[in-house]
Chains A and B, each alone.
Chain A
Amino acid sequence: DIQMTQSPSTLSASVGDRVTITCRASQSISKWLAWYQQKPGKAPNLLIYDASSLKSGVPSRFSGSGSGTEFTLTISSLQPDDSATYYCQQYSSYYSFGQGTKVEIK
């Protein structure tokens, strides 16, 4: 099984800050990685697929990068609406998720 590890588990940042979340895979997954945003009481929402492709309609302040075992999700200018938990997920071999990163607004 492929294990996904996210860091940090929580982060607190101010509106306008640049925020980066890291996701590491236990083995190479090429570019087969997605990022989801989940707000309390809601279903997750796809942001990024294939490591760096932005889903249509997702704000351009979100971007993804990486390949192999190391990936990042960046929010270029944090907005109040971005307060949520973010999950990475590999789909190279079945599916597994990171444990999540909770983003809070200071």
Chain B
Amino acid sequence: EVQLVESGGGLVKPGGSLRLSCAASGFTFENPWMSWVRQAPGKGLEWVARIKSKDEIGTTDYAAPVKGRFTISRDDSKDTLYLQMNSLKTEDTAMYYCTTHRYTWIENWGQGTLVTVSS
């Protein structure tokens, strides 16, 4: 059974940084693409960033609102996905979900970790 467990969320001031982690189990971690998707309180879903597998050179892509501030990475030796978030803004406040892809679509989701950016 695929399990994705996010951690690292919390309260941070505007301009601050936070690193999210996602511990994965139940599948061969190095294979699938992985993404972070977020959901602001009471709002819809927004894709944040994607990282391809090592076979595809671990290519990364970002949504426009986070490009240049967030960095997605993966450590296949630790079965862990990361999201480094810098220069945080109040509009980054959201539940952040770790997801796996099957081929190109998003298939599995973690339970999320809440990030609150507030002074």
Binding site for B on A (CB under 8 A): 1, 32, 34, 36, 38, 42-46, 49-50, 55, 87, 89, 91, 94-100
Contact between chains at B45 and A87 (CB < 8 Å): yes
Closest to A32 in B: B104
User: Given that A32-B104, A49-B105, A94-B63 are known contacts, is A43 also in contact with B110, CB under 8 Å in the complex?
Assistant: yes
* B residues in contact with A49, CB < 8 Å: 102, 105, 107
User: Given that A97-B44, A97-B45, A99-B44 are known contacts, is A89 also in contact with B106, CB under 8 Å in the complex?
Assistant: yes
* A residues in contact with B46, CB < 8 Å: 97
Interface of A is mostly: loop
Contact between chains at A91 and B105 (CB < 8 Å): yes
Name the one of A36, A43, A98 contacting B112, with C-beta atoms under 8 angstroms. A43
Name the one of A1, A44, A55, A95 contacting B109, with C-beta atoms under 8 angstroms. A44
Which of B45, B50, B104, B108 counts the most chain A CB atoms within 10 A? B45
Query: Does B82 belong to the interface (CB within 8 Å)?
Result: no
* B residues in contact with A89, CB < 8 Å: 45, 105-106
User: Given that A43-B112, A95-B50 are known contacts, is A34 also in contact with B44, CB under 8 Å in the complex?
Assistant: no
Query: Does B111 belong to the interface (CB within 8 Å)?
Result: yes
Contact between chains at B45 and A44 (CB < 8 Å): yes
Q: How far does the alpha carbon of A1 sit from the alpha carbon of B47 in the complex, in Å? A: 12
Query: Does B35 belong to the interface (CB within 8 Å)?
Result: yes
Query: Does B61 belong to the interface (CB within 8 Å)?
Result: yes
Query: Does B70 belong to the interface (CB within 8 Å)?
Result: no
A8 CB, min distance to chain B CBs, angstroms: 15
Please give me the 9 A-B residue pairs with the lowest Cβ-Cβ distance, nearest first: A95-B47, A43-B109, A97-B45, A49-B105, A34-B105, A91-B104, A100-B44, A99-B44, A91-B105
Question: Can you sample 20 A-B contacts with CB below 8 Å?
Answer: A34-B105, A36-B45, A38-B45, A43-B97, A43-B109, A43-B111, A46-B105, A46-B106, A49-B102, A49-B105, A50-B105, A55-B107, A89-B105, A94-B47, A95-B47, A95-B106, A96-B47, A97-B46, A99-B44, A100-B44
